[in-house]
Structure 1
Amino acid sequence: MKFMSIRDFRSRPIRNDLASDPEIVLTANGQPVAVVSAVEPDTVEDELVALRRARARVAIDRMRAQAKACGLDKMTMDEIDAIITDVRRKRRAGK
């Protein structure tokens, strides 16, 4: 995986870089801010769907890890239902 500053990205074409390395991480002040990925014209939508699914999977994995770290993975369905009921009741009451 290649890293490139946004300044370099603006000043030079990256088509040749993408031919040799299909993903380039763009950086600003040394920190990653975006990923540029090579795609084919007929697979753009499929690539975007796959990227969104991968992001969702990572988000779910993080939520599960956080829940486990807090001990929330041991809650029963009755406890979960009670919390949901309480939150809904408070929303209806305007709190």
Structure 2
Amino acid sequence: MRLVSIRELRTKTRSIGEWLSADEDIVLTSNGKPIAILSPVTEETFEVELMAMRQARAVRALNRLQEFSHLSGVNQLSDEDINHEISAARRTHMEHKECE
């Protein structure tokens, strides 16, 4: 995996294309900090690669939600508490829709 700055992205476009063609992932940096990952794809692999990235993001989001629920204590709600929260959210949603 190579590290490439934004400046290098502008000045070494051809080299970066060659690295990607050689199946290398590239970490794009700004001020020395990673901001993006460039990953090689082809027309045939584009959809699969995109789906894999989206799935990884969803898993990270789920992990963050689980961590938040644990830290805030909401992971200990009873089924009755959960149903009460769902009902309250639905009431609020319906009231908001009626106001429109």
**What is the TM-score normalised by the length of structure 1?**
0.85
47-56 or 82-91, which moves further after superposition?
Answer: 82-91
- 1:4-83 alignment runs, 5 A limit: 4-12=4-12, 13=14, 14-18=16-20, 19=22, 22-83=24-85
One-letter amino acid of the structure 2 residue matched with residue 16 of structure 1: E
How much does 1:61 deviate?
Answer: 0.9
Whole-Å separation in 1 of the counterparts to 2:5 and 2:44: 29
How much does 1:32 deviate?
Answer: 1.9
Whole-Å separation in 1 of the counterparts to 2:4 and 2:37: 10
One-letter amino acid of the structure 1 residue matched with residue 19 of structure 2: D
Whole-Å separation in 2 of the counterparts to 1:5 and 1:11: 10
Whole-Å separation in 1 of the counterparts to 2:27 and 2:82: 40
The gaps in structure 1 that reach 5 residues or longer are none
The Cα RMSD (Å) is: 1.8
The gaps in structure 2 that reach 5 residues or longer are none
**What is the TM-score normalised by the length of structure 2?**
0.81
**Length, aligned pairs only:** 94
How much does 1:15 deviate?
Answer: 2.4
How much does 1:33 deviate?
Answer: 1.8
- Deviant stretches of 4+, over 4 Å: none
1:23-60 deviation line (CA, Å, top 9, x unaligned): 11111222222110012331111111111111111111
